[in-house]
Every structure is written in C-alpha cells, then in structure tokens.
Amino acid sequence: MTLPLLDILRRAPVVPVIVIHDLATAVPLADALVAGGLTVLEVTLRTPAGLPAIAAMRRAVPEAIVGVGTLSSPDQFQAVTDAGAQFGVSPGLTPALAEASRKVPWPFLPGVMTPGELMQARELGFNLCKLFPAQQAGGIGMLKALHSVFPDVGFCPTGGIHRDNAADFLALPNVHCVGGSWVAPTDLVKAGDWLGIRKLAQDAASLPRKAS
C-alpha cells in the first residue's frame, strides 16, 4: 500500500537519517528505532549497504516505513523500487528527478535550499520539501521567511539539526518533522548499543510539534 507523503511525514517528529556500513546492523537498528517510537526511517545511499539494508528492514520490521535518502540520479529509482523503499528523499531537485518520481509507486520528497528552488519545486508539483542543508540555508529564520511567502508548503528540514535545536524547528507551523542522525549515532550502532538507541528514539519521539 502506498502512503501519502504527508501521512509519512506526520508519523513521528523525527525521521532518522541512517547510514549503514555493516548490513548486519540494519535490522537491529530498525527494531530499536521503531521500539522507541520512530517508525519512519530514511536509509541513505551513501554506502553500498544502503539498498540491501532497505530490503532487509522491509522484510524483518514490518512496523517501519522505510525510505531511501540521497537520491541524486533518475537511474537509481528502479533499484530503489526493487529494494522495497516506501518513499524517497533527495538533497535537491531537477526536472529529470521529478519525471522519474512520477514513474514509481512511492512518494518523493525533493530538497530545496533557496526561494528560487522552492518556486521551481512548486511548478513541478511539489508542496512538501526537504530544506537542505537546513542550517546553512538559514535555519529557523529561513523557514519563517518562506512560510510568510509560501504558506502552502510544508517542510522536513535536515542538516545541522540535533537534539538541542530540533524542538525549535518543530515549533514552526510549516515544519512537519525534522531529519536527523543523532538518534542513530555511529558509535552506538558500531557498539550494538540498541538499548541506547532506543532511548534516544524515545526522547526524539516525545518532541512536540506545531504543524498539523
């Protein structure tokens, strides 16, 4: 079943941005995050283990909504579909990526950084976007400014967001969730500290948000 993108973004206040180096960690990591209340997972394509990790998580952790991050080429879309991804995220947007997204059975969250890029995204049919890199793009101030001009657009800001500033982003009316890697830190994953990751996920899942 294909879920609407807004429903996916509203599942939890934080979407873990996951980099898998060792495929053996994929399923226990997903289990820990879901047990903590973060049921939407973004597995990046930054390593060769990315696609196999998505497939493994889909098979073993049906409670999770597993998507793919770092999409940068239309050629990747079929492989992502074959792996079973339920949504896709890109750091940017091109007409070719927009066209490829219309041919797959899962929703696509494109990245924007500037008002001009946001206007192009809207022209291509997207009113839900990833602000990336969020802090370098202007952070809270940029999102407030964008909301005043584009009140119809919702965001999942990612990049430079951590536990200490996540609540400030989530308090904005145009932020549905934030993306962050602090809930799946490399040292805890490498150590197999799944209880520690579960506790981080529980804390992140409890963060309030304003957008509805």
Q: pLDDT digit string (tens) for 137-190?
A: 999 999 999 999 999 999 999 999 999 999 999 999 999 999 999 999 999 999
pLDDT value at residue 212 = 65
- The sign of the dihedral angle between the CA atoms of 130, 134, 136, 137 is positive
pLDDT in tens, 70-81: 999 999 999 999
For residue 90, the one-letter residue type is S
Query: pLDDT digit string (tens) for 89-131?
Result: 999 999 999 999 999 999 999 999 999 999 999 999 999 999 9
42, 99, 123, 190: which one is catalytic? 42
Please indicate whether residue 123 is annotated as part of the active site.
no
**What's the whole-model pTM score?**
0.96
Amino acid 211: pLDDT? 77
Q: Write down the pLDDT at residue 88.
A: 98
Instruction: Choose the catalytic residue: 99, 130, 190, 199.
Output: 130
The domain 5-205 is placed in CATH, from the list 3.40.640.10, 3.10.20.30, 3.90.930.60, 3.20.20.70, at: 3.20.20.70
Please determine, for residue 203, whether its predicted confidence score (pLDDT) is greater than 80: yes
Question: Using CA atoms, how far apart are residues 212 and 202, in angstroms rounded to an integer?
Answer: 21
**130 annotated active-site:** yes
- pLDDT of amino acid 2: 78
Whether residue 1 has pLDDT greater than 80:
no
Enumerate the domain spans of the chain.
5-205
Nearest to 87 by CA among 174, 8, 178, 181: 8
**pLDDT tens column, 8-62:** 999 999 999 999 999 999 999 999 999 999 999 999 999 999 999 999 999 999 9
| 89 contacts: CB under 8 Å, gap ≥ 6 | 42, 67, 68, 69, 70, 71, 108, 109, 111, 130, 156, 179
